[in-house]
Structure formats: C-alpha cells, structure tokens
Chain A
C-alpha cells in the first residue's frame, strides 16, 4: 500500500491567502485524523472523521479552519484567511476498524504563512 498521501508537502503563502491541504487515507481505513505539529504545542488533534462523518472538531482553532471528507478516499483541510500563527506541519492519519490501534501518518504538509 502507498500509505497516507498528503499534498502539498510544502506550502509558502502570504497572510490572508487561502490554503488547502489534501489527504488520501489508506484504502479501507474508515477513520481519518488531522493533526497540527508545532514546537510550542506539539501534536494537536484538529478534527477526526469516522466513515466520512466529522466526529470531533473541538480542536479546530477557529472559524478560519474547515475540514471536509466528501468520500472515503479524500479529505481537505482549509484555512481562510491564513495567518502567520498558522505556520506548522499538518499531518493526516488514518486507521482501520472500530477499536483502538495503530494510526498511520502521512509525511505532513509544512505550511509557512508570511
């Protein structure tokens, strides 16, 4: 399997611009997670989906952030408008089944907002 695929790997944008990060989970995995990693706050859960339905979005920082999962093989995380404090590495992860177990992470999207 190709693993969790994220794009873009690197994004540099200016404050106020819209940013869209993309994720393709591992085929057959029914839950998908978006995490954000910064030096100050470590790995934070932003939102997770189960069977394409958002289950918990309490980690989404504010209304500027939105996430969608239109089908089992694709998810997006959008920031509009972006701010310098959004600079971070954003990870997507997926898991199979209904119980706790191994989360498979993508290689991340490094976002820099100038």
Chain B
C-alpha cells in the first residue's frame, strides 16, 4: 500500500532532448507527489511537486504530469542539459503523515 514504483532505472538522453521518468502508486490516500534530485555525495533536494487537484505543473524546463485515475505521475525535463545529470526520485506522502515514500530512483545521464 505504501509502494511507489519508478521507471526506468537509468536513462541516457542527448543534450537538448526530453527526459521522461514515470512513477505509479497504489495508495489512493497519497495527496502530495514531489520529485527530488540528487547529485553524487549530496542529499536529495526538492525539484518540483504536485498535488492531485491539478493534472500538470510546470517550473522552467521541468513539468510534472499527473493522472489521478491511473495513479501515475511523470517528470518531463525539456531541453535536457549535462548539468541535469543526476539521480531523480519520485515520492509520495499523505495527510498528516509527512514522511515521504520514495521510488527506487532513475539515474539520468545527459550526453553533450
């Protein structure tokens, strides 16, 4: 019930391309869906987040698409840059339980 499934495990994209990472969840009580970005040797940092009352949220080159009926959400990185090379985690939490349940992570490599 707490699981968040993430794919793909790794992704290689050419500079300027679109990176797409997908996540699916099971627990319909989840009401907050963030994406975290982690660089080697650092802790995860919030990239962008969405709540289920909207289907899309865009911040710069980063967009979350959310499909409540399918219980899926995805991260799109437009015009991917080598500096975007990192590990990306989707996550979910619910109500008063603010602890995040994380997906397994996607290692993104953007080639110059």
Quick check: B101 and A45 within 8 Å, CB to CB?
yes
Whole-angstrom CA separation of A107 from B46 in the bound complex: 14
Q: For the complex, is B44 an interface residue (Cβ under 8 Å from A)?
A: yes
Chain B residues in 8 Å Cβ range of A56: 97, 99
Whole-angstrom CA separation of A45 from B102 in the bound complex: 9
Quick check: B89 and A43 within 8 Å, CB to CB?
yes
The size class of the interface chain B forms with chain A is 20 to 34
Contacts A43-B89, A100-B93 given; does A106 touch B103 at CB 8 Å: no
Q: Which of A44-84 contact B (CB under 8 A)?
A: 45, 48, 56
Contacts A102-B34, A103-B46, A106-B43 given; does A48 touch B102 at CB 8 Å: no
- Interface-central residue, A45, A98, A106, by most chain B CB under 10 Å: A45
Whole-angstrom CA separation of A106 from B44 in the bound complex: 8
Quick check: A91 and B43 within 8 Å, CB to CB?
yes
Whole-angstrom CA separation of A101 from B48 in the bound complex: 11
Cβ-neighbour of A102 out of B43, B49, B95, B103 (below 8 A)? B49
What's the minimum C-beta distance from B65 to chain A, rounded to whole angstroms?
A: 20
Chain A positions 84 through 114: 1 when the CB is less than 8 Å from some CB of chain B, otherwise 0:
0000000101010011111101111000000
Q: For the complex, is B72 an interface residue (Cβ under 8 Å from A)?
A: no
Q: Which of B54-112 contact A (CB under 8 A)?
A: 89, 93-105
Cβ-neighbour of A105 out of B45, B96, B105 (below 8 A)? B45
Quick check: A103 and B100 within 8 Å, CB to CB?
yes
Beyond A100-B94, A100-B98: 5 further Cβ-contacts under 8 Å? Answer: A42-B104, A45-B100, A56-B97, A99-B98, A103-B100
**Between-chain CB contacts (< 8 Å), 20 pairs:** A4-B43, A33-B99, A42-B89, A43-B44, A43-B102, A43-B105, A45-B100, A56-B99, A91-B44, A93-B43, A95-B98, A99-B98, A100-B93, A100-B98, A101-B32, A103-B98, A103-B100, A105-B44, A107-B43, A108-B42
